[in-house]
Amino acid sequence: MRILLAILAVLSLSTPASAQLINVDIDISKAQRLLEIACSGAEIVDSEFTASPVVQSQIDHHQEFGARFSMENYLSGLRAMAECKTPESDIFRFKSLVEKRALMEKAINHLALNRDDLIKRVHDNLVPYVPADMEFEGKAIIAAASFSCGGFSNRGMFFIDLPCLAPDIEGEYEAIAQLITHETYHAIQSQFASRPMVSKEDVSTDIQAWDYMFHRLAIEGSASFVGDMRNIKGDGRYAKYSRDVAQRSFRHLSYNFRLLGILMEAIGNDPASVKARFPEIYGLAFDGSFGELSYFTGHQMTAEIVHSFAARSLPCLLAQPPENFALAYHEALADGDNLEKSENLPASIVEIAGRLSKERTTATDIDVCLGEAI
Protein backbone atom coordinates (compact mmCIF):
# COMPACT_ATOMS: atom_id res chain seq x y z
CA MET A 1 0.00 0.00 0.00
CA ARG A 2 2.79 2.40 0.89
CA ILE A 3 4.53 1.86 -2.45
CA LEU A 4 1.28 2.53 -4.32
CA LEU A 5 0.66 5.73 -2.38
CA ALA A 6 4.24 6.83 -3.00
CA ILE A 7 3.96 6.28 -6.76
CA LEU A 8 0.68 8.19 -6.86
CA ALA A 9 2.31 11.00 -4.90
CA VAL A 10 5.17 11.25 -7.37
CA LEU A 11 2.73 11.51 -10.25
CA SER A 12 0.56 14.10 -8.55
CA LEU A 13 3.49 16.25 -7.41
CA SER A 14 5.22 16.21 -10.78
CA THR A 15 2.14 17.15 -12.81
CA PRO A 16 0.54 20.20 -11.18
CA ALA A 17 -2.99 21.11 -12.15
CA SER A 18 -2.06 24.74 -12.83
CA ALA A 19 1.05 26.87 -13.04
CA GLN A 20 2.72 28.30 -9.97
CA LEU A 21 2.66 32.09 -9.74
CA ILE A 22 4.65 33.72 -6.94
CA ASN A 23 5.07 37.51 -7.10
CA VAL A 24 6.66 39.47 -4.28
CA ASP A 25 6.97 43.21 -4.85
CA ILE A 26 9.49 45.41 -3.05
CA ASP A 27 7.77 48.78 -2.57
CA ILE A 28 10.30 51.58 -2.18
CA SER A 29 7.93 54.36 -3.25
CA LYS A 30 6.69 55.13 0.27
CA ALA A 31 10.25 55.65 1.51
CA GLN A 32 11.04 57.80 -1.52
CA ARG A 33 7.97 59.93 -0.80
CA LEU A 34 9.00 60.59 2.80
CA LEU A 35 12.52 61.47 1.65
CA GLU A 36 10.98 63.92 -0.83
CA ILE A 37 8.96 65.59 1.96
CA ALA A 38 11.88 65.85 4.43
CA CYS A 39 13.18 69.42 4.66
CA SER A 40 11.12 70.46 1.62
CA GLY A 41 8.83 72.96 3.33
CA ALA A 42 5.92 71.25 1.59
CA GLU A 43 2.40 71.45 2.99
CA ILE A 44 1.16 68.07 4.23
CA VAL A 45 -2.19 67.02 2.78
CA ASP A 46 -3.62 64.78 5.50
CA SER A 47 -5.71 62.63 3.17
CA GLU A 48 -2.60 61.37 1.34
CA PHE A 49 -1.69 59.49 4.52
CA THR A 50 -4.99 58.98 6.36
CA ALA A 51 -6.44 57.22 3.31
CA SER A 52 -3.33 55.12 2.68
CA PRO A 53 -3.77 51.39 3.52
CA VAL A 54 0.00 51.19 4.02
CA VAL A 55 0.10 53.98 6.62
CA GLN A 56 -3.06 52.64 8.28
CA SER A 57 -1.47 49.19 8.54
CA GLN A 58 1.76 50.55 9.98
CA ILE A 59 -0.02 52.65 12.61
CA ASP A 60 -2.34 49.77 13.47
CA HIS A 61 0.74 47.64 14.21
CA HIS A 62 2.54 50.31 16.22
CA GLN A 63 -0.55 50.99 18.35
CA GLU A 64 -0.06 47.58 19.93
CA PHE A 65 2.68 49.38 21.88
CA GLY A 66 0.54 52.32 23.01
CA ALA A 67 -2.14 54.83 22.08
CA ARG A 68 0.52 57.49 21.40
CA PHE A 69 1.21 55.78 18.06
CA SER A 70 -1.74 57.57 16.49
CA MET A 71 -2.44 58.97 13.05
CA GLU A 72 -2.47 62.47 14.59
CA ASN A 73 1.05 62.02 15.94
CA TYR A 74 2.19 60.55 12.62
CA LEU A 75 0.89 63.64 10.78
CA SER A 76 2.48 65.92 13.37
CA GLY A 77 5.80 64.19 12.79
CA LEU A 78 5.44 64.59 9.04
CA ARG A 79 4.85 68.35 9.38
CA ALA A 80 7.89 68.77 11.61
CA MET A 81 10.02 66.73 9.20
CA ALA A 82 8.85 68.85 6.24
CA GLU A 83 10.16 71.90 8.12
CA CYS A 84 13.48 70.11 8.70
CA LYS A 85 12.77 69.68 12.40
CA THR A 86 12.91 66.57 14.54
CA PRO A 87 9.49 66.05 16.12
CA GLU A 88 9.40 66.83 19.84
CA SER A 89 8.17 63.30 20.56
CA ASP A 90 9.69 61.33 17.69
CA ILE A 91 7.87 58.04 18.27
CA PHE A 92 7.89 57.15 14.55
CA ARG A 93 11.59 58.01 14.12
CA PHE A 94 11.33 60.73 11.49
CA LYS A 95 14.64 61.93 12.93
CA SER A 96 16.69 59.86 10.51
CA LEU A 97 15.14 61.61 7.50
CA VAL A 98 16.13 64.99 8.96
CA GLU A 99 19.45 64.44 10.70
CA LYS A 100 20.74 61.56 8.55
CA ARG A 101 19.15 62.51 5.25
CA ALA A 102 22.22 61.68 3.13
CA LEU A 103 22.50 58.24 4.74
CA MET A 104 18.79 57.50 4.23
CA GLU A 105 18.95 58.72 0.64
CA LYS A 106 21.90 56.45 -0.06
CA ALA A 107 20.06 53.46 1.43
CA ILE A 108 16.86 54.15 -0.50
CA ASN A 109 18.78 54.59 -3.75
CA HIS A 110 20.72 51.38 -3.14
CA LEU A 111 17.52 49.39 -2.68
CA ALA A 112 15.91 51.05 -5.68
CA LEU A 113 18.93 50.23 -7.84
CA ASN A 114 18.93 46.60 -6.69
CA ARG A 115 15.16 46.14 -6.46
CA ASP A 116 14.90 43.65 -9.34
CA ASP A 117 17.74 41.54 -7.93
CA LEU A 118 16.13 41.58 -4.48
CA ILE A 119 12.79 40.47 -5.91
CA LYS A 120 14.50 37.63 -7.81
CA ARG A 121 16.41 36.44 -4.74
CA VAL A 122 13.23 36.25 -2.69
CA HIS A 123 11.33 34.54 -5.52
CA ASP A 124 14.05 31.94 -6.05
CA ASN A 125 14.25 31.22 -2.32
CA LEU A 126 10.51 30.58 -2.10
CA VAL A 127 9.54 28.72 -5.26
CA PRO A 128 10.83 25.22 -4.40
CA TYR A 129 8.92 25.15 -1.11
CA VAL A 130 5.40 26.25 -2.06
CA PRO A 131 2.60 24.14 -3.56
CA ALA A 132 2.97 23.52 -7.27
CA ASP A 133 -0.31 25.28 -8.08
CA MET A 134 0.19 28.19 -5.67
CA GLU A 135 -0.75 31.73 -6.68
CA PHE A 136 0.51 34.44 -4.37
CA GLU A 137 0.88 38.22 -4.62
CA GLY A 138 2.84 39.82 -1.78
CA LYS A 139 4.52 43.08 -0.94
CA ALA A 140 7.41 44.15 1.25
CA ILE A 141 7.34 47.86 2.06
CA ILE A 142 10.49 49.81 2.83
CA ALA A 143 9.48 51.96 5.81
CA ALA A 144 11.58 55.10 6.19
CA ALA A 145 9.88 56.05 9.47
CA SER A 146 9.63 53.09 11.84
CA PHE A 147 11.09 51.80 15.09
CA SER A 148 11.07 48.00 14.73
CA CYS A 149 14.60 46.91 13.86
CA GLY A 150 14.31 44.27 11.19
CA GLY A 151 10.66 44.33 10.27
CA PHE A 152 7.06 43.49 11.10
CA SER A 153 3.92 42.18 9.41
CA ASN A 154 0.36 43.49 9.55
CA ARG A 155 -2.76 43.23 7.38
CA GLY A 156 -0.99 41.08 4.85
CA MET A 157 1.87 43.58 4.40
CA PHE A 158 5.46 43.23 5.50
CA PHE A 159 7.46 46.30 6.53
CA ILE A 160 11.26 46.64 6.50
CA ASP A 161 12.53 49.16 9.06
CA LEU A 162 14.98 51.32 7.12
CA PRO A 163 16.33 53.61 9.90
CA CYS A 164 17.82 50.54 11.57
CA LEU A 165 19.39 49.22 8.35
CA ALA A 166 20.51 52.44 6.63
CA PRO A 167 23.89 52.90 8.37
CA ASP A 168 25.31 49.95 6.36
CA ILE A 169 22.77 49.12 3.67
CA GLU A 170 25.30 47.16 1.60
CA GLY A 171 26.17 45.10 4.67
CA GLU A 172 22.48 44.42 5.33
CA TYR A 173 21.52 43.48 1.78
CA GLU A 174 21.58 39.67 2.06
CA ALA A 175 19.91 39.84 5.47
CA ILE A 176 17.11 41.93 3.97
CA ALA A 177 16.57 39.32 1.23
CA GLN A 178 16.39 36.50 3.78
CA LEU A 179 14.17 38.51 6.13
CA ILE A 180 11.68 39.19 3.34
CA THR A 181 11.86 35.51 2.36
CA HIS A 182 11.12 34.34 5.92
CA GLU A 183 8.18 36.67 6.44
CA THR A 184 6.76 36.13 2.96
CA TYR A 185 6.90 32.38 3.49
CA HIS A 186 4.75 32.90 6.57
CA ALA A 187 2.25 34.82 4.46
CA ILE A 188 2.22 31.98 1.92
CA GLN A 189 1.94 29.36 4.68
CA SER A 190 -1.20 31.10 5.92
CA GLN A 191 -2.88 30.18 2.63
CA PHE A 192 -2.11 26.45 2.58
CA ALA A 193 -0.73 25.20 5.91
CA SER A 194 -2.82 23.53 8.60
CA ARG A 195 -3.85 25.60 11.61
CA PRO A 196 -3.50 24.78 15.30
CA MET A 197 -6.53 23.51 17.20
CA VAL A 198 -6.74 26.71 19.24
CA SER A 199 -4.86 29.99 19.59
CA LYS A 200 -1.93 30.19 21.99
CA GLU A 201 -4.07 32.14 24.46
CA ASP A 202 -6.77 29.45 24.44
CA VAL A 203 -4.55 26.42 25.06
CA SER A 204 -6.00 24.54 28.04
CA THR A 205 -5.27 20.82 27.51
CA ASP A 206 -2.16 18.75 26.89
CA ILE A 207 -3.42 17.77 23.42
CA GLN A 208 -3.94 21.40 22.44
CA ALA A 209 -0.54 22.36 23.84
CA TRP A 210 1.29 19.60 21.95
CA ASP A 211 -0.59 20.50 18.78
CA TYR A 212 0.43 24.15 19.13
CA MET A 213 4.08 23.32 19.83
CA PHE A 214 4.30 21.00 16.83
CA HIS A 215 2.61 23.63 14.69
CA ARG A 216 5.11 26.34 15.59
CA LEU A 217 7.99 23.89 15.19
CA ALA A 218 6.89 23.20 11.61
CA ILE A 219 5.87 26.74 10.66
CA GLU A 220 8.81 28.63 12.17
CA GLY A 221 11.33 25.90 11.44
CA SER A 222 10.45 25.76 7.77
CA ALA A 223 10.45 29.58 7.42
CA SER A 224 13.88 29.72 9.07
CA PHE A 225 15.13 27.08 6.63
CA VAL A 226 13.73 28.86 3.56
CA GLY A 227 15.08 32.23 4.76
CA ASP A 228 18.35 30.83 6.15
CA MET A 229 20.46 33.46 7.94
CA ARG A 230 23.45 31.31 8.90
CA ASN A 231 25.78 32.18 6.04
CA ILE A 232 24.64 35.60 4.91
CA LYS A 233 27.40 38.02 3.93
CA GLY A 234 27.75 41.50 5.37
CA ASP A 235 28.39 43.01 8.76
CA GLY A 236 25.54 45.45 9.11
CA ARG A 237 24.00 45.63 12.58
CA TYR A 238 20.99 43.48 11.72
CA ALA A 239 22.89 41.05 9.46
CA LYS A 240 25.57 40.39 12.07
CA TYR A 241 22.99 39.90 14.82
CA SER A 242 20.85 37.52 12.72
CA ARG A 243 23.85 35.49 11.56
CA ASP A 244 25.30 35.25 15.07
CA VAL A 245 21.99 34.06 16.56
CA ALA A 246 21.59 31.38 13.89
CA GLN A 247 25.17 30.15 14.08
CA ARG A 248 25.15 30.08 17.87
CA SER A 249 21.93 28.07 17.91
CA PHE A 250 23.35 25.57 15.46
CA ARG A 251 26.48 25.17 17.56
CA HIS A 252 24.34 23.83 20.42
CA LEU A 253 21.63 22.21 18.31
CA SER A 254 21.93 18.99 20.29
CA TYR A 255 20.85 20.93 23.39
CA ASN A 256 17.94 22.45 21.45
CA PHE A 257 16.64 18.99 20.54
CA ARG A 258 16.87 17.84 24.16
CA LEU A 259 15.21 21.01 25.43
CA LEU A 260 12.27 20.52 23.10
CA GLY A 261 11.84 16.99 24.43
CA ILE A 262 11.91 18.19 28.03
CA LEU A 263 9.33 20.89 27.32
CA MET A 264 7.00 18.50 25.50
CA GLU A 265 7.26 16.07 28.41
CA ALA A 266 6.57 18.87 30.89
CA ILE A 267 3.24 19.53 29.19
CA GLY A 268 2.12 15.98 29.91
CA ASN A 269 3.45 15.82 33.46
CA ASP A 270 0.58 17.85 34.88
CA PRO A 271 -2.26 18.17 32.35
CA ALA A 272 -4.52 19.91 34.87
CA SER A 273 -2.23 22.97 35.02
CA VAL A 274 -1.41 23.25 31.31
CA LYS A 275 -3.31 26.50 30.83
CA ALA A 276 -1.29 28.26 33.53
CA ARG A 277 2.07 26.78 32.56
CA PHE A 278 1.85 26.84 28.77
CA PRO A 279 2.95 30.45 28.14
CA GLU A 280 6.24 29.83 29.97
CA ILE A 281 6.80 26.45 28.28
CA TYR A 282 6.13 27.93 24.87
CA GLY A 283 8.36 30.92 25.58
CA LEU A 284 11.38 28.80 26.46
CA ALA A 285 11.12 27.11 23.07
CA PHE A 286 10.11 29.94 20.74
CA ASP A 287 10.34 33.43 22.26
CA GLY A 288 13.02 35.80 21.02
CA SER A 289 14.07 36.67 24.56
CA PHE A 290 15.29 33.08 24.92
CA GLY A 291 16.85 32.91 21.44
CA GLU A 292 13.98 31.21 19.57
CA LEU A 293 15.84 27.93 20.05
CA SER A 294 13.16 25.71 18.55
CA TYR A 295 13.14 27.75 15.34
CA PHE A 296 16.51 26.21 14.64
CA THR A 297 15.49 22.73 15.74
CA GLY A 298 12.68 22.97 13.20
CA HIS A 299 15.12 24.42 10.67
CA GLN A 300 17.33 21.33 10.88
CA MET A 301 14.32 19.02 10.79
CA THR A 302 13.15 20.76 7.61
CA ALA A 303 16.58 20.39 6.04
CA GLU A 304 16.61 16.65 6.79
CA ILE A 305 13.09 16.15 5.42
CA VAL A 306 13.97 17.98 2.20
CA HIS A 307 17.24 16.04 1.97
CA SER A 308 15.42 12.71 2.17
CA PHE A 309 12.11 13.42 0.47
CA ALA A 310 12.71 16.42 -1.87
CA ALA A 311 11.61 20.03 -1.63
CA ARG A 312 8.00 19.42 -2.63
CA SER A 313 7.44 17.19 0.38
CA LEU A 314 7.61 20.28 2.61
CA PRO A 315 4.43 22.13 1.57
CA CYS A 316 2.63 18.79 1.47
CA LEU A 317 3.59 18.12 5.09
CA LEU A 318 2.78 21.64 6.25
CA ALA A 319 -0.76 21.16 4.96
CA GLN A 320 -1.17 18.11 7.20
CA PRO A 321 -1.56 18.00 11.01
CA PRO A 322 1.69 19.35 12.52
CA GLU A 323 2.78 16.18 14.30
CA ASN A 324 3.32 14.70 10.82
CA PHE A 325 6.24 17.10 10.40
CA ALA A 326 7.96 15.47 13.38
CA LEU A 327 7.03 11.96 12.24
CA ALA A 328 8.39 12.70 8.75
CA TYR A 329 11.69 13.84 10.28
CA HIS A 330 11.81 10.65 12.33
CA GLU A 331 11.27 8.64 9.16
CA ALA A 332 13.89 10.65 7.26
CA LEU A 333 16.52 9.73 9.85
CA ALA A 334 15.70 6.05 9.36
CA ASP A 335 17.11 6.01 5.82
CA GLY A 336 20.67 6.29 7.20
CA ASP A 337 21.65 9.12 4.83
CA ASN A 338 21.56 11.94 7.36
CA LEU A 339 22.81 15.50 7.49
CA GLU A 340 25.63 16.23 9.93
CA LYS A 341 23.56 18.19 12.46
CA SER A 342 20.50 15.95 12.44
CA GLU A 343 19.80 14.14 15.71
CA ASN A 344 17.28 11.57 16.76
CA LEU A 345 14.19 13.08 18.30
CA PRO A 346 13.76 12.29 21.97
CA ALA A 347 11.60 9.17 22.22
CA SER A 348 9.00 11.17 24.12
CA ILE A 349 8.41 13.46 21.12
CA VAL A 350 7.88 10.53 18.77
CA GLU A 351 5.48 8.99 21.27
CA ILE A 352 3.60 12.27 21.72
CA ALA A 353 3.36 12.77 17.95
CA GLY A 354 1.89 9.28 17.59
CA ARG A 355 -0.58 9.88 20.39
CA LEU A 356 -1.65 13.21 18.93
CA SER A 357 -2.13 11.63 15.52
CA LYS A 358 -4.47 9.04 17.03
CA GLU A 359 -6.55 11.81 18.59
CA ARG A 360 -7.40 13.25 15.17
CA THR A 361 -10.92 12.70 13.92
CA THR A 362 -9.66 12.75 10.32
CA ALA A 363 -6.86 10.34 9.44
CA THR A 364 -3.91 11.45 7.29
CA ASP A 365 -1.05 9.56 5.69
CA ILE A 366 2.40 11.18 5.53
CA ASP A 367 3.43 8.67 2.85
CA VAL A 368 1.51 10.83 0.37
CA CYS A 369 4.05 13.59 1.06
CA LEU A 370 7.15 11.42 1.26
CA GLY A 371 6.64 9.54 -1.99
CA GLU A 372 9.37 11.32 -3.93
CA ALA A 373 11.94 9.29 -2.02
CA ILE A 374 10.89 6.20 -3.98
Domain boundaries, the chain: 19-192, 200-373
**DSSP class of residue 135?**
E
Closest to 317 in 3D by CA, of 189, 228, 200, 180: 189
**DSSP class of residue 142?**
E
Q: Which residues pair with 25 in a beta bridge?
A: 139
pLDDT average, residue stretch 210-238:
97
Distance CA 261, CA 257 (A): 7
User: Average pLDDT over the chain, rounded to whole?
Assistant: 91
pLDDT band at residue 11 using 50, 70 and 90 as cut-offs: very low
pLDDT band at residue 289 using 50, 70 and 90 as cut-offs: confident
pLDDT band at residue 2 using 50, 70 and 90 as cut-offs: very low
Distance CA 159, CA 167 (A): 18
pLDDT band at residue 319 using 50, 70 and 90 as cut-offs: very high
pLDDT for the residue 237: 94
pLDDT for the residue 153: 85
pLDDT for the residue 280: 96
